[in-house]
Amino acid sequence: MRKWLIKFIDLILYSNLWIAVAALAMAMQTQLFLFGRVRYTPYLPFLFCGTLFLYAIHRIVGLQKAKPFQEKGRYKVIATFKSHIQFYAGISALVGAYFFFQLDLSFQLSLFAPALLSLAYVIPLFGGKKRLRDFHFIKIFLIALVWTWLTVVMPALFYRLELQLCTLLMILERICFVFAITLPFDIRDLEVDRFNKVKTIPFRLGIRKSKAIALVSLTMALFFTCLNYFTMGISLLQCLAYGLSCLAAGWLILKSTTSQHDYFYTGLMDGTMILQAGLVFLAT
């Protein structure tokens, strides 16, 4: 029974279904804040499929950058199911293309910049087979920017909403929250990044200071959400639900170490986005 449970968890996490659901949940949360309910748009399945595709490519390319670690932890699982991940990437690309062509041309053009940054993040387009994430200190800021663009800015643009104060506060909140929950992944990847000679915040400042920075960023995310409540952008219950998710994320940040099992990061840390959207949904 335990063996089958592990296989099921590996399937959900390393097929990238979990992170794709997280992206979808964040976009839906934006709709809940903006409209008080979730509205179907072709962008939602496109975002799900696009995330599934990009993270599948990221897994495959990442294997080549971590050859000495392919018999350890998540890399062993990814290497074992590499052909499966390639299949998921192909299917998600085809389905994502179908929903992409259901979008207006102006909206399609708005996706060009985040799509280009995302591809440059996972595909070695630069000299020395470098990806954007292989440049010093850039990857965590790039992730925060792209995730905010795709889960806040694009849903707002779909409905041609003006850049109002509530949307601006939501952009700042999302940048801070994604930054906070992404920084622990740099703690997890210290050994691999050191092998690839990629400098990160934990590499330069150490684990303790990195956790402090993540907690400050998380606090700023909660601060911007509270401002959104006081400016009548969101309800009190939504604000409280957001605060509960921040408590969970803060506890996980404090527990982050290089020795934590990858389920802690890929499952629980990424899962804070799903938890947050779920709590906001219940509070709406």
How do residues 117-149 score in pLDDT, each as one tens digit? Answer: 998 888 888 877 788 888 888 999 999 999 999
pLDDT of residue 192: 84
Between CA 192 and CA 66 the distance in angstroms is 7
Tokens 């595709």, located at residue: 53
**Is the pLDDT confidence value at 242 over 70?**
yes
pLDDT of residue 266: 94
Going from N- to C-terminal start, the domains of the chain cover 2-283
Q: Which of 112, 140, 116 is nearest to 217 (CA)?
A: 140
pLDDT of residue 88: 87
Between CA 186 and CA 133 the distance in angstroms is 11
pLDDT average, residue stretch 213-239: 94
Q: Using DSSP, how many helices (H) and how many strands (E) does the chain show?
A: 16, 0
The pLDDT confidence band at residue 49, using thresholds 50, 70 and 90, is very high
Lowest mean pLDDT among 8-17, 246-255, 268-277: 8-17
Out of 1.10.600, 3.30.310, 1.10.8, 1.10.3470, which CATH number does the structure's domain 2-283 have? Answer: 1.10.600
Helix (H) or strand (E) holding 109: helix 105-110
Burial class (CB in 10 A: 0-12, 13-18, 19+), 220: middle
- Tens digits of per-residue pLDDT, 85-110? 888 899 999 999 999 999 999 999 99
Between CA 191 and CA 189 the distance in angstroms is 6
Q: Which of 260, 270, 266, 272 is nearest to 187 (CA)?
A: 260
pLDDT average, residue stretch 50-70: 80
- Name the pTM for this structure: 0.94
Between CA 187 and CA 208 the distance in angstroms is 10
The distance in angstroms from the start CA to the end CA of the chain is 38
pLDDT average, residue stretch 14-27: 95
**Is the pLDDT confidence value at 70 over 70?**
no
Q: Which residues contact 66 (CB under 8 A, 6 or more apart)?
A: 75, 192, 195, 196
**Is the pLDDT confidence value at 71 over 70?**
no
**Is the pLDDT confidence value at 72 over 90?**
no
Between CA 31 and CA 192 the distance in angstroms is 37
Q: Which residues contact 273 (CB under 8 A, 6 or more apart)?
A: 22, 23, 25, 26, 181
Between CA 8 and CA 27 the distance in angstroms is 26
Instruction: For 192-250, give the DSSP string.
Output: HHHHTT---HHHHH-HHHHHHHHHHHHHHHHHHHHHHHHTTSS-HHHHHHHHHHHHHHH
Region of 256 (left: φ > 0; alpha: ψ -120 to 50; beta: rest) is: beta
Burial class (CB in 10 A: 0-12, 13-18, 19+), 94: exposed
**Is the pLDDT confidence value at 258 over 70?**
yes
Instruction: Round the average pLDDT of the chain to a whole number and report it.
Output: 91
Percent of the chain with pLDDT over 90: 65
The pLDDT confidence band at residue 113, using thresholds 50, 70 and 90, is very high
- Tens digits of per-residue pLDDT, 151-198? 999 999 888 877 788 899 999 999 999 999 999 999 999 988 888 888
